[in-house]
């Protein structure tokens, strides 16, 4: 079984070497999805669950292969950006692609250099403190951040989604300033806050579901309305911060990919996304299960970019 799959993997590698143009019946060979993050992250799990459904329910008649590219997300994104638009190469990424181009324009990776395919679900964020923290509510926290600006050590990944959430909170509460420290992603930040090295961090709603039993507390939720899983946690907007901040799972193809391939992939993702298994996965992960494609998605990308651009500028290292 495994051997046969490995052989099909080798066959895929061979077909990747032979570059060709997609035509006739799409898909004509295995589909490669680049996840520009290591395995186990939010984007990776979403891609893999969709992969599982697409293969098990035979949504497409070709296998789907996931390729993780770790390191900075722009490395994997660039691989897709510069790949042959053969109709069989796709990228799954989130808001980082949009904020990243503002944080470091020199890198030359922009969402405008891709063909948008679809949007499958998304997730929002929680500001997190330790269970025994003196900050019982978001108000406590923000008051403290105003009284002594720049003293609350806040673990983030500089320039990334959790950092942006912190900046949105600062902007929503003038005078409040956090002391951002480069810690990394969810796992690292959870360890740092439990070890007392940071006092505040931001976790995605999915990450919070994994760690919440271990002595941490969410002060708010950055989504438009309270999570069904966590009806106790108020939204940032209810608390008067006046912002919503969520990331969605974006799918892109290299620029110049054929209409047929883009529509075909979008249709396959739409079908898999709507399956009860996928929706159940989303709610278990505290994600939302929406879907977008075509012009709606294209316009959505532009409007998201406009909202985050000014805040992303603040996230750029000085």
- For binding to other proteins (CB under 8 A), which residues are involved? 1-2, 5-6, 9, 38-41, 44-45, 48-49, 51-52, 55-56, 65-66, 68-72, 74-75, 78, 100, 103-104, 106-107, 150, 153, 157-160, 179-184, 187-188, 190-192, 194-198, 209-211, 213-214, 284, 317
Question: Which candidate, 69, 41, 53, places its Cα nearest to that of 249?
Answer: 41
Q: Provide, rounded to whole angstroms, the least separation between the CB of residue 260 and other proteins.
A: 26
Least Å distance, CB 121 to other proteins, is: 15
Contact between 187 and 165 under an 8 Å Cβ cutoff? The reply is no
Least Cα distance to 126 among 248, 41, 212, 197 occurs for: 212
Give 93's strand partners.
250
By beta-carbon proximity to other proteins, the closer residue of 78 and 94 is 78
Q: Least CB distance from residue 95 to other proteins, whole Å?
A: 14
Q: How far is the CB of 286 from other proteins (least distance, A)?
A: 12
**185 vs 197: CA distance, rounded Å:** 15
Residue 45 CB, nearest approach to other proteins (Å): 5
Closest to other proteins by CB, 200 vs 265, is: 200
Backbone angles phi, psi at 69, to 5 degrees: -120, 110
Q: Which is nearer to other proteins, 49 or 297 (CB)?
A: 49
DSSP H or E segment with residue 33: strand 31-35
Q: Which is nearer to other proteins, 103 or 253 (CB)?
A: 103
User: How far apart are CB 274 and other proteins at their closest, in Å?
Assistant: 19
Nearest CA among 15, 45, 9 for reference residue 27: 15
- The long-range contacts involving 70-75, CB below 8 angstroms and separated by at least 24 positions, are 70/37, 70/38, 73/36, 73/37, 73/97, 73/100, 74/36, 74/100, 74/104, 74/107, 74/109, 75/36
Nearer to other proteins among residue 20 and residue 40 (C-beta) = 40
CB of 266 to other proteins, least distance (A): 22
Closest by alpha carbon to 230, among 245, 202, 208, 200? Answer: 208
Q: Give the tokens for residue 94.
A: 């989130």
Say if CB 117 and CB 251 are below 8 A apart: yes
Element (H, E) at 291: strand 288-293
In order of 150, 190, 204, the CA distances from 179 in angstroms are 5, 17, 20
Nearest distance, CB of residue 101 and other proteins, angstroms:
12
49 or 125, CB closer to other proteins?
49
Query: Smallest gap, in angstroms, from Cβ of residue 299 to other proteins?
Result: 28
**Of residues 207 and 248, the one with the C-beta less far from other proteins:** 207
Q: Which of 48, 38, 111, 31 is nearest to 73 (CA)?
A: 38
Is the Cβ of residue 179 or residue 271 nearer to other proteins in the bound state?
Answer: 179
Q: Which of 280, 309 has the CB closer to other proteins?
A: 280
What is the C-alpha to C-alpha distance for residues 126 and 288, in angstroms, rounded to an integer? Answer: 15
């Amino acid at each position: 079984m495994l051997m046969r799959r490995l052989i099909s993997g080798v066959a895929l590698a061979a077909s990747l070497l032979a570059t060709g143009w997609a035509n006739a019946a799409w898909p004509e060979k295995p589909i490669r999805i680049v996840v520009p993050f290591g395995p186990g992250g939010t984007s990776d799990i979403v891609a893999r669950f969709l992969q599982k459904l697409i293969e098990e329910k035979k949504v497409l008649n070709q296998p789907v292969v996931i390729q993780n590219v770790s390191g900075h997300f722009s490395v994997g994104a660039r691989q897709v950006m510069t790949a042959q638009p053969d109709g069989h190469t796709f990228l799954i990424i989130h808001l980082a692609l949009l904020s990243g181009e503002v944080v470091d324009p020199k890198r030359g990776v922009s969402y405008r250099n891709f063909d948008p395919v679809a949007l499958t679900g998304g997730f929002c964020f929680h500001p997190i403190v330790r269970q025994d923290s003196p900050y019982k509510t978001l108000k406590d926290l923000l008051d403290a951040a105003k009284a002594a600006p720049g003293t609350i050590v806040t673990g983030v990944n500089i320039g990334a989604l959790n950092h942006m959430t912190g900046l949105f909170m600062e902007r929503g509460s003038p005078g409040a300033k956090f002391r951002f420290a480069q810690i990394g992603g969810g796992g690292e930040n959870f360890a740092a806050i439990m070890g007392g090295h940071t006092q505040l961090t931001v976790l995605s709603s999915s990450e919070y579901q994994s760690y919440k039993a271990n002595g941490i507390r969410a002060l708010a939720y950055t989504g438009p309305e309270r999570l069904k899983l966590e009806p106790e946690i108020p939204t940032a907007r209810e608390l008067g911060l006046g912002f919503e901040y969520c990331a969605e799972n974006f799918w892109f193809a290299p620029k110049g990919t054929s209409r047929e391939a883009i529509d075909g992939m979008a249709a396959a993702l739409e079908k898999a996304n709507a399956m009860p298994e996928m929706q159940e996965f989303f709610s278990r992960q505290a994600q939302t299960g929406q879907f977008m494609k075509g012009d709606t998605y294209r316009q959505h990308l532009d409007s998201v970019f406009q909202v985050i651009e000014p805040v992303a500028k603040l996230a750029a290292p000085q």
